[in-house]
Amino acid sequence: MDRLIHQLSTGKRLGNLNKAKLLVSDGATIIKQPTEFVESLVCVIHNGTMEDAVYCYTEKILQELLYGDRFKEWLIYPHADEMSLKPQVVDMGMG
Backbone φ and ψ of 40, nearest 5°:
65, 30
33-67 pLDDT, tens digit per residue, is 999 999 999 999 999 899 999 999 999 999 999 98
SS3 state of residue 12: coil
Mean pLDDT of 10-24: 95
pTM: 0.90
Show the beta-strand stretches assigned E in 25-71: 29-31, 41-46, 51-56
Contact between 44 and 19 (Cβ < 8 Å): yes
Backbone φ and ψ of 9, nearest 5°:
-65, -20
Domain boundaries, the chain: 3-84
